[in-house]
Structure 1
Amino acid sequence: MNLQSNWIAYALASAFFAALTAIFGKLGVTGLNSDLATFIRTIVILGVCCLIISLRGEWQYPDTISTRSWLFLILSGIATGLSWLCYYRALQLGPVSKVAPIDKLSVALAILLAVIFLGEKLTWATALGAGLIVAGSVVLVLF
């Protein structure tokens, strides 16, 4: 398996680290303002990304990045920041076992938005999978 080109491996790693994010975040936000906790997390992420980009020699000049890329990366950053602020507040107020499943509804929402805005094809398998994610989240939260 070529890890550089295998998106599934990266997606599984993302899921694993997202799970750790919930556990570590719940422990870290205890007794701390959730917005400040998000800020600290963001600084750490910035440092880790800078280190990785530096080690790989992947820096590039800002003027080589298209205006369109800048716009959508800025919008993505705003959405990420708002997501993280809400997520940490939810973790502070509720149990991980309830917060994480609701947060993962983002998978079904992303599929829906990709169909509407990106023109991605909605197959029966994708629709069923998204529906099962929604159903699973409802079961985990309500029961």
Structure 2
Amino acid sequence: MGNYVLWALLACIAYSFVPPLVRVGTREIPSNVAAFISNFVLIVIIFAVLVYNSESLAPHVTANGAIYLYLAGACLGVGILSYYRALELGPVSIVVPIFAMFIVGGSVIGFVLLDEPVTARKIVGVVLGVVAIYLISV
């Protein structure tokens, strides 16, 4: 198992706690404020990791690839604010599967725009992902 798989599993475990925590938190705190608070904690953690690893931001903020990260940040901002609002208003058991469609969307974008290899197994996986998300959310 590759090192990236362990990181992906850790991300999955950690992120699994986000929706229920946001749902409980937004009972008393507006979703936009909740997004700010949780993402402020995120920024503090990332800053600590950068310092710990002696990584500098300066040479990267104007690098050629930075524009993609700025665009990703804009998409992430819209996505997080929308996700938090949905969790404030609706049940976790329905919001999370709908939100999880980003996995299917990201896979399709990878196939179409990044020329990642498309195999029958991957197509079946994407279709089964859609079916699973549908079954969970209805």
Task: Write the letter of the residue equivalent to 1:73.
Answer: L
4+ long deviations beyond 6 Å: none
| Worse-superposed segment, 78-87 or 51-60 | 51-60
Aligned to 2:120: 124
- 2:13 is aligned with 1:16: yes
Partners of 1:123 and 1:13 lie apart in 2 by 27
Q: Match of 1:132, SS? A: helix
Task: Write the letter of the residue equivalent to 2:5.
Answer: I
Task: Write the letter of the residue equivalent to 2:133.
Answer: S
Q: Match of 2:127, SS? A: helix
| Worse-superposed segment, 41-50 or 23-32 | 23-32
Long gaps (5+) in structure 1: none
Partners of 1:64 and 1:34 lie apart in 2 by 31
Equivalences, count: 138
Partners of 1:114 and 1:64 lie apart in 2 by 24
- 2:112 is aligned with 1:112: no
Identity, in percent, stands at: 25
Q: Match of 1:139, SS? A: helix
- 2:34 is aligned with 1:37: yes
Long gaps (5+) in structure 2: none
Aligned to 2:25: 28
1:31 Cα deviation after fit: 2.0
RMSD between superposed Cα atoms in Å: 1.5
- Structure 1 length normalisation: TM-score? 0.89
Aligned pairs for 1:77-96 (under 5 A) are 77-96=73-92
Aligned to 2:69: 73
CA gap 1:18/1:64 in 2 versus in 1, 3 angstroms: closer
- Structure 2 length normalisation: TM-score? 0.93
